[in-house]
Structure 1
Amino acid sequence: MKYKGPNVTQDIHKLVNKTAVDKKWYAVQTKIKSEQLVCQRIEIDKEKGVIEVEVYLPLIKENNNFKPLFNGYIFVKHTQDEIHKIRYLPGVKDYVRFGLYPTSIPENQISLMEKIESSFNDVTTVDSYLVKGCKVQIIKGVLAGRKGVLTETTKNKKIAIAIDNFGKSVLISMPVTDVVEIETI
């Protein structure tokens, strides 16, 4: 009778190939001003062979100093098995999650950030996904359901919207949370 048990060599080969393929990018939230310290800790643990993680901290130049493009966030690429090792590092708050599970970030978005970081000197971020010129719909208040064009955003999380009314634009200011984007420019 022939032995029909698992082929250990084949299983190990599948496992090695699976780990390389299953590496995904994740956003990790860090404690305030701890991005670089967390990255350094990951690199130290990587050199020791404790973890197999690629780490990325996008930086922008501001007043001859470099600062994180996204305050309080770093990006890590690893398998599911490494999540707990990163999660409990000093300076880490948690993974960015959708429900219970860390949300992976597509490789092309990380590549885009790398290209932007290396190609442009004057990069800034906006707290909102809404940008000047995009079409929005008001979802709260007496104007709920009306559509307009975003004309301005301010640091205090307010936006100005032009709404056509009787052939004229009425410019109103409201909280950014009162609108949703309906068409990207």
Structure 2
Amino acid sequence: MCETRVDQLDDFEYQNLMSRAGCRAFYIGVESGSQRMLDFFKKGEKIEQFIRAFDIAHKVGIKTYASFVVGAPTETREELDRTYQLIERIKPDYSGMNIYTGLPGSELYDFTKMNNLYEFEDSNHVLYLKGHNKRVDKYYNGDPFRKIPGSVSKCSLMMWNIKKNFFGVLSRIKRG
């Protein structure tokens, strides 16, 4: 598996060469389907680049693993919907979805702390946003069919629905 940025993968010949050289999968941090959120994360990448890179990977037979972050500060419901729409469009073979947590040393950590957007800071100074229940997130993170406990944040519920609807066994069978 090759961990890479999408801006390295927008060339058909390059990906074809990687495939012929034995590369079988790309791990790509997509993060969001919202250009505003990608800019907020300072990714330096465009939605169109992700679409092109995944289209090429599918054509040359390289599997794709996409990583997403939901629930970052200022993210809206519409932006979460755009992330789901992008997932449906790029059709990654595998995916990981994570709820945003502020990590010390990052600009997003400083932004989260300065704007008092967190409700809990653990002993390692990791910030958990208001409205997130980390125990619930840990409970079902690995199993999208596990019964949802009673009180779940909107972000957790959206992540749950994306996992169940796109990455669940039945949807993978339908997609082939």
TM-score, length-scaled by structure 2: 0.24
More strand by share: 1
Structure-1-length-normalised TM-score: 0.23
Bigger Cα Rg: 1
Which has the larger share of helix? 2
